[in-house]
Every structure is written in structure tokens, then in C-alpha cells.
Chain A
Amino acid sequence: MIRAMQRLGGRVTLITVLLGLSLSAQAAAFTLSELMGALANHAYGTAAFTETKYISILDLPVESSGELLFIPPSHLEKRTLKPKVETLVLDGEVLTVASQTQKHVLQIKDYPEVAGMIESIRATLAGDRQALERLYHLNLEGSPEGWALVLRPLDAAMGWMITRIRVEGTRDEVRTVEIQQADGDRSVMRVRQSASP
């Protein structure tokens, strides 16, 4: 079952990438400013997510799922429900990590590696180009109908953990976030808007 999903996941990613490339050839005029503007104007609610982590020590990827909630401009919640309950809340500069037994409150700037990963999602959702460009080198591919934004860390400390983050979407919606880790492991998060207002 899991094996099948992995294969499926891989194929979907591949298709999206191919699609993205072909689209970028068609509409080269789609600019970063346009994308950011579209994202900034998007109204948000709760979205379901499925995250697949490909870890070298495991034969099979690990899968988790839950809900994402973004309240512009700076409140992001990631509530993982399966297989273990965990809530990450990023509010402004404060990150709260709560499991069933523990709760940690952190200032994200004290944890640059973690901060970078979360900020990539939040700033993309918010359409905050400045925040993204503080941390990453940006590269946009594709058209409004299917775009891919590739983030490469500027900071060495972050680069030590993450080599690349690839965010894909359609128009003003983020569909997948793929994080490529420096040790070769990789995670892919798919987002499904449950209700678009």
C-alpha cells in the first residue's frame, strides 16, 4: 500500500515538474511580482495536508496528515493528526511546538534551520517577497495556471540542512511544498484547500 503511494507520489511530482516546465515555456511573462501579488490577495481558511517523508534509513516513506491554517499576514498553524498528534503554531516570531505531553515556545530566529523551513511556507502563502528574499535565492518557473517557485537558502547554517525548497501551485493556490534536505532525505507536502471562499 505504502509502496504504491510512494510510486504514485513520485509520478505525480514528476508530472507536475514536467507540466511546470512546459507551462513556463508557454508563458514566460509570468513574473515573481505577479505571483506574489496573487498570493497576497488570496483569502485563506483551513486546508488539509498530506506530507510524505522519504528517509534513507527507511525502506518506505513515512506519511503524515493533518490541517493547515493560515491567517494573514503572520499566523500559521500546522496541526498533524496522524500518525502522532503535533501542533506547530508560528505566530509572528514565536513558534509553539506542542505534542500530547509537551509544549515548547521558541523564538524562530534562535533556530535558523527550522525557521527557514517554516518561513518558506508562511512567506509564500502571505505573498511576502521581501521575507523570502531575506532567506532565499528565488527562481520562478511556469505560468499562472501552473507555477513552481524554487527557493535556495542564502544562509550557510540553513544550507547545511536544506538544499532546496520547491513550492508549486495553480494561480493563487499553493499545491505542493517539496523540501530537499542536505543529507539526501526529502519531504513532499500536498495541500488541498477544503473550502475556497
Chain B
Amino acid sequence: MRQRGSVAIILWMVLLCACLWVVMRTHYTADLSAFLPATPTAEQQLLIDQLKSGITSRLILIGIAGGDQAARVRVSRALAARLRADRQFLHIANGETQSLERDRQVLLENRYLLSPAMTADRFTVEGLHGGVADSIDLLATSAGLFSKALLPRDPTGEFMQLLAAMGNGQRPPTLDGVWSSRDGQRVLLLARTRAEGADTNGQSTAVVAIRAAFAAVSAPGMRLALTGPGPFSVAARATIRHEVLSLSGLGSLIIIALLLLVYRSPMALLLGLLPVLSGAVVSIAVVNLAFGMVHGLTLGFGIALIGEAVDYSTYLLMQSERTNGATGATGTTPSASQGHWNTAFWPTIRIGVLTSVIGFASMLFSSFPGLSQLGLFAITGLTTAALVTRFVLPPLLPSGLRVRDVTAFGRRLQTGVERAGRLRLPVLVLFVAACSVLLVKHDGLWNRELSALNPVSGAEQALDMAMRADLGAPDVRYLVVVTAADREAALAASEGVAVTLARLQAAGIILGFESPATYLPSQAVQRQRQWSLPSDAELRRRFNMAIAGLPLRPDRFEPFFADVAKARSQATLTPEDLQGTSLAEGVDAMLMPSRGRWSALLPLRVAGTARLDAQAMRLALAQTGLADVYFIDLKGASDHLYEGYLHEAIALSLAGLAAILGLLFVTTRSPGRVLRIAAPLVVAVAVTVAGLVLAGQQLTILHLVGMLLVVAIGSNYALFFDQGAVEGGMSARVLASLVVAVGTTVAGFGILGFSTVPVLKAVGCTVGPGAMLALAFSAILTPRR
């Protein structure tokens, strides 16, 4: 025995050192990775690319409120100037028209290469006639004030066409030359970061830079608001980090205080925590080895698990004859009394651990990486804690260690349990009521949107929505993504897709779309447009015919003939020619290399609440005959992804439940006992969930995890009561140890219920009440003599 103990201690210390070494090198994240599939399909991969590095993922919305309007305008300009000098921002926009002159020049000089109206028959007699007639009509509108000066150079109005195409959609309101909110109380800026949205460190430096620049230029009383995926993930990481630290600190303090109160022995407390600490270290190391990183949420969850893992040593210290003076006095040797615990209680705990492991194993197989991380963490932690309790802790216990005698407390509990039998009928009624609630509310029971797990507060989301509405920068939901071997091919494919999208726009299915090819047409299209321009003599002939009947004099159009002659021989536009213009920004935002290929993004605009039918969109796009064209519904796809996780998790949980029942049947070989063990757990889960539903909560995948935990933890209590029933009554000490165990569990998990991170809160508010109910129902439903 002694020798086996030494071997166990040595093995444990080696393992612990190795794991500590891994833990020191562990990478912790708090990004989206927990929610994205580990082995995505091609379409999911596009979704992931968008979420991680797409156009909208790099956007930071900046709002400045407070102070007076003049001061806000000054700060907007000063902040923009500072950030423009910062290399980590690709683009800063605040409504100032600094690149306007250059934009104008590029658009004017390249209008015949860029204009979408430059079809093959634009420069036929009919085409010219139509263009000129439109330009004359335009003179009648308010734009005529500006367009009339260009008429001699651009009688077909290509420049105005371009302005219309480029400035598509709504522009933010401008107040004193800078963007402002509709109510004029806030100036607005847009920043696009070089760092990808998923690069939380990069986003964090960007946020810090914006705050520092704001602090340097702002006036007293001004407030800075930052929203967008980057600032949100930075804030979420900070919240998760803060809560994991503060809640784990608080939870640990409560658990330590509770154990100290019960044991009245610092040594017992220290030893009692050994299995838990070992479990935590080994879990972090194993998760890191398996996943390459540990998510902040896994850590937060890990804290709560301490509450359960600490139960094993509680059972040992409180149930064992050895640490309880009563039998020590009769002269039994420590190893003999240890042997008694090993045979009397260890099998029960072993089944408890096994049921928990089976429960969590169902999470392990989830394709939701966050869930499988939690599963692996829990399995490793619980198994380690149990093994350390069984094999390492006993040889470490000093022979003179005594914990407080809780027999008196236990006796009172025994009386309580005897009387609790009277509550059987009320529990049955409660169970029926809970089931009715769940049945009635069956439809809206589960929240199927990924946003349910969003750690960003409702107020922040509302602010983001308000600023987006003011900026006319709606959250892009629908996208067409084109991938191709090189940039030219991607542009050409975008042009092909644009034909279909223009048709959908004309049919009123979409309000509009953007394409990188609007800003930089493919070389092929540019050359086609160039070739459609006639020679000088031919142009003069056609133009004279075209304007016959229009109130124009042909002798005023020499600048036009000169420009067309120049356009016929000019070099086609390349991305380099667009440097420093807002056209380049459009191209950069929608055309990018990825994985050795090029991707073009065509965001679609739809009316307010309109939904697009993905099936119909895919069919329409298939008709283009182009390869590698995908329609993506960002919100739909991520919700679909999450719903997939949810369905899978429910199926896996049911399988886990079946496996637990199977295990119980194998060990007890009695359907009656299995029923006795399972009944309190089922009732506890049903009542807890019904309570949550009545409190207005919609269930998420993390509530499911919570339910699994209630079953896993509660099974220990139910097993002890079952054991007690078999042996003809539970000892006072065992009963007391169960109360302490539920206390630590509620302290560990219950504290998560106060978290502002939905993922942690969901687990906390399910497990806290659930574990208490599982113990209470086990006591009430246990068979009596």
C-alpha cells in the first residue's frame, strides 16, 4: 500500500510538472474561433473568411458626442488627421473631401474607360443622341447647375453617370463639412484597419490608438464611442478576462471559506484543494495540446468545474473513518480505515465520475469547437481530480489529520430527510407543472440565433445600429463572393455576375449592389469600351447626325472631340493609377488575395427587412455559367451553423443520457435502482429549465451544457442516496458531505450566473439551481423503510 502510494505521488508530480510546463506556454484567445466549425465546408469557409477578415470585419465606427458643434467638428478633423498618419489604418473617413479633387480628375480623364453606360452602341448615332438628350434633361434638375459647365467636354454625360454609379446609395449627413448623426449631436468617423477583424491583438492596438488620439485632441466633456466587430471583440475579451478573474477569485474564496468552516483545519483544506488544482492544470494542458489554444470561455467554465471536482476530496475527507476522530480512537490503523473508504464509498464516486465523463463525452464529439473544448476540459479535470483523490491524496494525509466532526449536523439532516418524504406529492405536482410549461412553450424554447451568445451588451448593439444607420453603412448581410485564379479573372467574373445582379435590381428583388469592377473594370472591358470609340472624322459625322433636332450647336464641342481622341489611345487603368483616390478604397475593400487566389466581394443591398431566398439567388447565379460564384447570407449562414450545432448537441446529449442510463444499469443490474437514481435528476432538470423559461429566458446551447452538468453532478448525490437506500440508511457523515458538496458546486457555478457574458451566465443559472434541486429531490424521492 505504502509503496503504491509513493509510485502514485511520483507519477502525479511528474505529470503535474509536465502539465505546468505546457500551461506556461499556452495561448489563450477570446475570439470567434470557439464558434466556428473546425472542418468547414467550402461555403462555410467563405463565411469564416468574411467574419474573420472581410470588409465589415475591419470596420470601426467612431462617434464623438458632448461639447459644442464647433468643438466636435474640430476634434473630428484633428482625430482624422492623426489616424490618417497611423500606418495601422487603411482608411479614415469623416466626410472631409480631401481626395475629391483627385477623384474628380481621375474620373473625368478616364470616364470612357470607367463609365458603365459605355456599351457597344453608346457611340452610334442613336446612342449619342440618347446620351445628349439625357444630359439636356439633367440640365433641368438641380444637378444642372454643375453639369452644364461640362457639357462641351462631356455631352453624353459620362462623368455624371460615373458620379451616380460611384456614389450609389445613401450618404451620411454632413454638418460643417464632417459626417454627423441625424440629430446633429454626434460627429461620426469610419476607420478601416489593416489588421483583420479576427486579429484581436491587432484590433486592440487599433482601438488603443484611436483612444489615445482622441485623448490628445478632445475637449473636456466629450465622449468617444467605438463600435464594430473589432472594438466589440476587444471589449468581449476584456470582459471575459475580467469576469474569469473576478468570478473565479470570488468563487474560490467562497469555496475555501466553506471548506475551512467545515474542516476547521487549514491542512485539510490545502489537501482538499490538491485534486482540483491538479485537475485544472492538467485540463488546461490537455486542451492546449489538443486544440493549440485555450479559449477564455473554457477557462471561465473551468472555474465553475472546481466546485464539482472539489467534491471528491470532500467525500474522502468527510466520509473517511480515518479523518474522523470517532473510529481513530478505537485503534484502527489509518490504512485500514482508508481501505474501508475505498471499498465503501469509492465505487459510488467512481460511478459518479463515470456518469459525468459520459455526459461530457457527448460534448467532446460536437463539431462546435467551443463545446468540444469544454467537454475535453471537463473530462480531463474531473478524471484527474478523482484519480488524485483516490490514489495521491490518501498517502499524503498526515496520520494525525482530523476534520471537524459533523455527525451532529448530519443527524439533523437525517431527521430532515426522513420528513422530506412528505414532499413527494408536491414534487410530483411540480414535475407535472414543469413539463406542462415546457410543452406549452415548446415552440420558442430554443434560441436559434448565434447572436444569443453575443457577449456585446444590448445598449452597445443599439448604439452600433444607430451609428450604422446614420453612416449609411448597414451591416452587410448578403454577399456574392467570386473567387478566381488572379485579379483580372476575379474582376471579369464580377462583371459577369453584375449583369445578373442588375437584372435582379431591375426586377426589384435587390435594391442595389456594389462591385470592385465599378471602380476598376477588367482590362478586357476597358479595351472593349476603348474600341467602341470611333475615329475623329467618324465621331464628328455621327455626332452631327445625333444632335440634329436637339437644341445644341455642334461648333461648341471641340473639347469633346479632343477628349475622345485622347481616350482612344490612352493606356488602360491599373490599380496603381487609382492610388490615393477613393476609387482605390473601393477596390481594396472588395478585391483581395486569399489563399493564393483572388476574391471579389459584391455586397447586396436589400430593402429594410427584406429577406432574400438563397435558393433562388443561387439558381440565378448558376445561370451566369461562371464557376466559383457563391451567394452568402452572413446572418443566415451563421445562424444555420449554430442551429446545426444545437441540433447536434441535443442529439449527442440524448445519446449521452442513454449511455449514462446504460452504465447505471450495468453497475446496479436493477431497473428499479436506475429509475430511483434517474428520477430526481430528470425532475431537477425539468424544473430548472421550466423556471428559466418562465423567467423569460430562451435556451441556448450553453443551457444544454448546464443540463448535462446538472445530470453529471446530481448523479453523485442520487447515487449516494441510492447506496444509502440499499444499505438501509445513509450515515450522518455522508449526508453532511453531500450538503457541503452541493454548497461548493453552487458557489462555483452559481457565481457564473452573475456574469454578463451570456455563455457563462447560461451555464451558471442552470447548474446553480439545478444542483440544489437535484440534491433536494434525491433526498425527497429516496425510498424509505
Q: Does B534 contact A (CB under 8 A)?
A: no
Q: Does B171 contact A (CB under 8 A)?
A: yes
- Distance between Cα atoms of A64 and B143 in the complex (Å): 13
Question: Bound state CA distance, A20 and B177, in angstroms?
Answer: 42
Q: Pick the interface stretch among A83-91, A129-137, A150-158.
A: A83-91
Q: Report B165-186 residues with CB < 8 Å from chain A CB.
A: 167-177
Which of B137, B142, B145, B168 neighbours the largest number of chain A CB atoms within 10 Å of its CB? B142
Counting CB contacts under 8 A, is A62 at the interface? yes
Q: Mark B117-154, 1 if CB is under 8 A from A, else 0.
A: 00000000000000000001111111011001001100
Given contacts A102-B167, A106-B173, contact A62 B553 (CB under 8 A): no
A103 touches B170 (CB 8 A): yes
Residues of B within 8 A of A86 (CB): 141-142
Whether a CB of chain A sits under 8 angstroms from the CB of B426 is no
Whether the pair A110, B177 counts as a contact (CB closer than 8 A) is yes
Q: How far is the CA of A86 from the CA of B169 in the complex (A)?
A: 15
- A62 contacts B140, C-beta separation under 8 Å: yes
Q: How far is A104 from B95 in the complex, measured between Cα atoms in Å?
A: 13
B144–A57 touching, CB < 8 Å:
no
Interchain CA distance A19-B5 in the complex, whole Å: 120
- Given the known inter-chain contacts A2-B551, A59-B553, A109-B176, please indicate yes or no for A84 contacting B138, CB distance below 8 A: yes
Within 8 A of B (CB), among A53-67: 53, 55, 57-60, 62-64
Contact residues of B between 537 and 563, Cβ < 8 Å to A:
551-553, 556
Distance between Cα atoms of A94 and B168 in the complex (Å): 20
Let me know if A55 and B139 touch, CB within 8 A.
yes
Question: Is there contact, CB below 8 Å, between B151 and A53?
Answer: no
Size range of the chain B interface in the assembly: 20 to 34
Q: Could you tell me the distance in whole angstroms from the C-beta of B164 to the nearest C-beta in chain A?
A: 6
A-B contact pairs, 23 of them (CB 8 A): A51-B140, A53-B140, A55-B139, A55-B144, A58-B136, A58-B552, A59-B552, A60-B551, A80-B140, A83-B137, A84-B137, A84-B140, A86-B142, A88-B142, A102-B167, A102-B169, A104-B167, A104-B171, A105-B172, A106-B173, A107-B173, A107-B175, A161-B145
Contact for B174 among A55, A97, A106, CB less than 8 A = A106
Q: A83-B140, A161-B145 are in contact. List 12 more A-B contacts (CB 8 A).
A: A2-B551, A57-B148, A57-B151, A58-B552, A62-B139, A63-B140, A64-B140, A84-B137, A99-B141, A102-B167, A110-B176, A110-B177
Nearest Cβ on chain A to B338's Cβ, whole angstroms:
81
Which residues of chain B come closer than 8 Å to A83, judged between CB atoms?
A: 137, 140
- With both chains docked as a complex, state the minimum distance between the C-beta of A133 and any C-beta of chain B, in angstroms: 23
Which of A2, A57, A80 gathers the greatest number of chain B CB atoms within 10 Å?
A57
Measured CB to CB, the closest approach of chain B to A79, in angstroms, equals 12
Q: Mark A63-86, 1 if CB is under 8 A from B, else 0.
A: 110000000000000001001101
Query: Which B residues touch A109, using CB under 8 A?
Result: 176
Q: Which residues of A contact B556 (CB under 8 A)?
A: 57
Q: Which residues of B contact A51 (CB under 8 A)?
A: 140
CB-CB under 8 A from A196, the residues of chain B are none
Q: How far is the CB of A103 from chain B (nearest CB, A)?
A: 6
User: In whole angstroms, what is the CA distance A113 to B146 when docked?
Assistant: 11
Q: Return the CB mask of A108-142 against B: 1 if under 8 Å, else 0.
A: 01100110000000000000000000000000000
Instruction: Give Cα A114 to B137, complex, Å.
Output: 20
Contact among B140, B171, B173 for A94, CB-based, below 8 A: B173
Asked if A58 meets B141 with Cβ closer than 8 Å, knowing A94-B173, A107-B175, A110-B176, the reply is no
B552 touches A110 (CB 8 A): no
Most central of A62, A99, A114, A185 by chain B CB within 10 Å: A62
A107–B176 CB distance below 8 A? yes
Tell which of A58, A94, A105, A110 touches B139, judged by Cβ atoms closer than 8 Å: A58
Is A97 touching B140 in the complex (CB atoms < 8 A)?
Answer: no
Residues in B whose Cβ lies below 8 Å from that of A97:
142
Q: How far is the CA of A161 from the CA of B553 in the complex (A)?
A: 24
Instruction: Encode contact with A along B150-164: 1 for CB under 8 Å, 0 otherwise.
Output: 011000000000001
Residues in chain B near residue A60, CB distance under 8 A: 551
List chain A residues, Cβ under 8 A from B138: 84
Q: Which residues A158-172 have CB closer than 8 A to chain B? A: 161
Q: How far is the CA of A191 from the CA of B446 in the complex (A)?
A: 62
The answer to whether B551 touches A59, judged by C-beta atoms less than 8 angstroms apart, is yes
Q: Which residue of B lies closest to A161 (CB)?
A: B145
Q: Given A59-B552, A104-B171, A53 and B177 touching (CB < 8 A)?
A: no
The answer to whether B140 touches A185 (Cβ under 8 A) is no
A53–B551 CA distance with the chains assembled, in angstroms? 13
B133: nearest residue on chain A (CB-CB)?
A83
B175 and A110: CB pair below 8 A? yes
Of the listed residues B136, B152, B556, the one surrounded by the most CB atoms of chain A closer than 10 A to its CB is B136
Complex Cα distance, B533 from A150, in Å, reads 49
Task: Please measure, in the bound complex, the distance between the C-alpha atom of A144 and the C-alpha atom of B370, giving whole angstroms.
Answer: 81
Partner of A62 from the list B136, B173, B176, B177 (CB cut-off 8 Å) is: B136
Give A26-63 interface residues, CB cut-off 8 Å to B.
51, 53, 55, 57-60, 62-63
Q: In the complex, what distance in Å separates the CA atom of A119 from the CA atom of B174?
A: 18
A53 near B144: Cβ-Cβ < 8 Å? yes
Bound-state Cα–Cα, A59 to B136, Å = 11
Say yes or no: A62 contacts B144, CB within 8 Å: yes
Contact A185 B148 (CB under 8 A): yes
